A and B are shown apart, each in its own frame.
Chain A
Amino acid sequence: MSRPKPLVAAIAVATVAATALAGCSSSAAKKSNGGSGGGGTGGVFTSIDANNKITAGAPMNPFNAAPNMFLGYNQMQLGFSKNDPSDPNALLPGLAASWTSSDSGLTIQLQPGAKWSDGTPVTVADIKTSLAIAYTHGTAGPVASAGGTVVAGNNFEVSDVKDLGGGKIEIDQQPGVKNLYFQRLVLTATIVANSVYGSQLPADVWSQIAAVQGTDQAAASAASAKLTAEGKTIAAFAPAKDVSAGPFVETRVNPGEALLDRNQYFYAAAKISPKQVILRSYSGNQQIWGYMNGGELDYAPYTSMPTNILNQVLGAGYTRIDAPSYVSASIAFNEKQAPYNLTPVRQALAYVIDRDAVTKVGEPVGGIAAPTTTGLVGSQSDSILSSDQKSALNPYKPDTAKATSLLQGAGFTKDASGKWHLPGGQPWTITLQTVNGFSDWIAASTIVANELTAFGIPTTAAITADFATYQKEMAAGKYAVGWWLVALGPQTDKAYARIYGSADGYSVSNGQATHNDAAPTNWEHTPATYTVNGQSIDPGQLAAQLSTTPVASQQPIIAQLAAATNQELPMIQIWNYTHVMFTLDKRFTNYPKSGQNDLLANPPGVWMMQGYVQGK
């Protein structure tokens, strides 16, 4: 019999001792298997909040940059967006049971029995304080803007909050202001307790808001400065404990996990099955996959994953749920750098890149190869454009003959070794820029580089150290060709503002766009106008118009923008993302299914409010 090596023995002893010590009331196995079973009501629901990592030392304050607060669990809103492309104002009820919109604003009816976790009712004072805080944080409108005649699609400018009695509250929009998305912006503001946050605001905060909305420029400017300072105070505020109107209330946070207990005063407490929720920290995708392989998570958010990991996760018992995602990965150009200022060059590259092949490697699980480039994800452009408009789009199917013809037409030449040369005779090489941490872009870059190199344009993929540097250098015009996320919907004005907005030298004020090619944020440098189907259009102005045009009337504008984007290719859409989530039907059941997009656009806490996620 061989004796154990000293080192191994030491580790074994330490392991046994630690496990025994911790075994008093817990075991490693218990923890690694995630939460306990549901059993009707009860049990621990374990998950991850992908949008909000646990941050040790940060306060339980949703207005902090690193908040230990979790939307849908202990961070509440009056309503939750359905992310419906046909109606951006469509919402699921939250603290507001119902609402009606009018030209002057919004009237909401609070949920009967809406209470904070300390047992006190949710009142108009809470809504008023919360909307004032939203104002100090920019989400309720640009605090620096003044004037009473603003017509904008970007901000809602609440001017007053009135108690109509019986839980009915009137929220007024600034007179003269008409925002198409006022309802959604108000209802999705974070609602906090006046008893906790009210003391952080000055008593005259609404007078300051009135001054900002007034016509006296000096008073508006002074009030704006005060509101900004108050926003900082709110952001830094650290409440002693969580007071939540959501289904859960935060009991404690350690650097690795947050523990939330069921809020007995929640207005729909009977619908909430889990007794506790544990949200786990994570350092990267691999760790989330590790949790899933061990069956530790009841719900896992989207992570970019390769096929072998998908198979492992499905093998561990998870069910895949797909929901729409309004994001597209694209390869964008800086048109200030030759030869990318030439439309035939960008079109030729679109013909060379095989988007199916690239997607299979870059985003095999959560990606669908883009059918073409329109500035919107494929499913959205399909539903908006007419058959004729769709058939007029160029799909840019892989076709090296067409690419060759386009390049030759633009004066490019090919040498004996098959390498392309610029019209001036210099060899043409491409550096495709991507960024560290974006594993899908990095993997896809290799395929794109191979395809372009095989076509005769030697291409190398370069990786920037982090995203902050990538943004800075991209804005500074350092990259001629690089990856970029576009089609950020479902609001089409935002999707097109992403392309023909600040990154292209446009600034929008009161629905009017002005173009400045020398703007410091401009790295795309597309021309101010395009000629499409014999008609000259200003894409920046059209994108700005979308923000003040009702959804029902947007189609003709979108058709022009889609056609222009498809023809001019300021970027080539490579794949459209799908929102892939995973649920484990082991401790809990009755999860929403693929197709229930209203619910799937929201975190599981919102599902629970609607009666989903029941213990087994």
Chain B
Amino acid sequence: MTGFARRLAGKLLTGLVMVWVVVTFTFFLVHALPGKPGDVQYEQYIMSGMTADQASAKVQAIYGFTSHDSLLAQYGGYLGKLAHGDLGQSISYSGVPVSHLIWSALPWTVIPVLSGLLVSFLIGVVAGIVAAVKRSSRWGGLLTVSGSLVAGVPAFVLALLLLVVFHTEWNLLPDAGTSDIQYDPGWNLPYIGSVVQHAVLPVCAYALLSYGGWLLAMKSSVVSVLGDDFILASELRGIAPVTRARYIGRNAILPLFTVLALSFGVMFAGSFFIEDTFDYPGLGDLLLKSIGTRDYPVMAGAFLLITVSIIVANIIADLCYTLIDPRVRR
């Protein structure tokens, strides 16, 4: 077995144990929430004119997917199903498979968050290099201030601000949803255009939200590299500025690479605030709704996906790091 394969096997094993620990913790945590599935619906049925008997019977019928076994037995059953890739049936969606709900929500988190992440990473890194190199100039200062300002604004404020400016005031972009319902979903230009149009504001919100962090981290990293001896040596040897910039960039970006890899994992959690503001039906929105309705299987499924994605991203980051930075292999 090669060293790389050994490292991979070790990390996978550790990851599996971590997944089990988190799955166990979240399983018992979600069941510890006060209230139970159907409570809110029961009240709504009463409000709509049903008697207590009718409301109870109806809740029993449509929320009958709630298990009445002991918690330990439910846990055993859950692990058994999980081993076969079965995430169970939703309670608040009357038996719809949890995997179906997660797969339905996943694209609406991955696409905008991934786009936002990449856009913010590219802009933030370039701006960070400029801010570091030109740190004594007015432009450098302005860039640093813009990064600090944006990084300090909460997600929901940023999202609301975009909504007010680009929808309410200028009426340039739609405020909610994923596409215009008038278009047939598929690979046709009007539908794709509508999806892109609806995604602009959420993507911008995600991008702005993380832009400041990338800029400041990159600036700090570049400033640190600029003080290294090998940069001074390269300057003294008359190496071309473009080549020197490449040296600086490659060395400065290493710490950010780890954060970027982890961000890919974290993105599966979406952003509750951004998805809620733009009524964007991603994973964060699904998780929020499932907490409100005490839909334990969906909560557990969403938490599992988030956990696994973070752990996998961590493993990939670790392994890739050894590839791009030979010093780590030693």
Contact = CB atoms under 8 A, between A and B. Distances in A.
Contact of A256 (B58, B64, B179): B179
Contact of A66 (B94, B185, B277): B94
Interface in B111-146: 119, 123, 127, 146
B292 interface: yes
A468 B196 contact: no
A431 interface: no
A138 B58 contact: yes
Contact of B61 (A26, A231, A253, A287): A231
Contacts of A143: 57
Interface string B13-52: 0000000000000000000011110011101001111111
Given A137-B61, A498-B46, A57 B105 contact: yes
Interface stretch (B165-173, B228-236, B238-246, B255-263): B165-173
B96 A228 contact: no
A31 B198 CA distance: 11
A86 interface: no
A469 interface: yes
Which of the listed residues B33, B36, B185, B193 has the most CB atoms from chain A within 10 Å of its own CB? B193
Contact of B200 (A15, A327, A501): A15
B123 A7 contact: yes
A58 B94 CA distance: 9
A517 B178 CA distance: 51
Contacts of A235: 61-62, 64, 94-95
A488 B46 contact: yes
A139 B197 contact: no
B63 interface: yes
B62 A137 contact: yes
Contact of B173 (A15, A280, A282, A508): A15
Q: Max chain B CB contacts within 10 Å: which of A65, A141, A283, A491?
A: A65
B123 A236 contact: no
A468 B183 contact: no
B89 interface: yes
Contacts of A494: 49, 51
Interface string A44-63: 00000001000111110001
B177 interface: yes
B81 interface: no
Contact of B53 (A22, A65, A154): A154
Contacts of B51: 153-155, 494, 497, 547
A303 to B, nearest CB: 15
A32 B171 contact: yes
B104 interface: yes
A137 B58 contact: yes
B151 interface: no
Contacts of A89: none
A330 interface: no
Contacts of B322: none
Interface in B200-236: 200, 203-204, 208, 211
B176 A256 contact: yes
A-side binding surface: helix, strand, loop or mixed?
Answer: mixed
A309 to B, nearest CB: 14
- With a 10 A CB-CB cut-off, give which of A29, A236, A491 has the most chain B CB atoms: A236
A81 B182 CA distance: 32
Interface string A210-253: 00000000000000000010011001101000000000000011
**What class of interface size applies to chain B in its complex with A?**
35 or more
B101 interface: yes
Contacts of A15: 166, 172-173, 200
A502 B54 CA distance: 13
Given A18-B173, A26-B194, A65 B92 contact: yes
A418 interface: no
A22 B196 contact: yes
Contacts of A17: 196
Contact of B279 (A66, A138, A281, A471): A281
B22 to A, nearest CB: 23
A566 B100 CA distance: 52
A100 interface: no
A583 to B, nearest CB: 21
A298 B108 CA distance: 28
A136 interface: yes
Contact of B185 (A14, A252, A327): A252
B155 to A, nearest CB: 15
Most buried by A among B41, B167, B177: B177
Contacts of B92: 65-66
25 contacts: A10-B123, A14-B200, A14-B204, A22-B193, A22-B197, A26-B183, A29-B171, A32-B175, A57-B100, A138-B61, A139-B57, A228-B61, A228-B64, A232-B62, A232-B65, A236-B95, A280-B176, A287-B175, A290-B168, A468-B35, A468-B40, A468-B293, A469-B35, A471-B35, A488-B46
Given A65-B92, A137-B62, A280-B176, 6 more contacts: A21-B197, A57-B100, A142-B53, A252-B185, A256-B176, A256-B281
Interface of A: 5-7, 10-11, 14-15, 17-19, 21-26, 28-29, 31-32, 51, 55-59, 63-66, 81, 136-139, 141-144, 153-155, 228, 231-232, 235-236, 238, 252-259, 278, 280-283, 287, 290, 293-294, 327, 466-469, 471-473, 485, 488, 491, 494, 497-498, 501-502, 508, 547
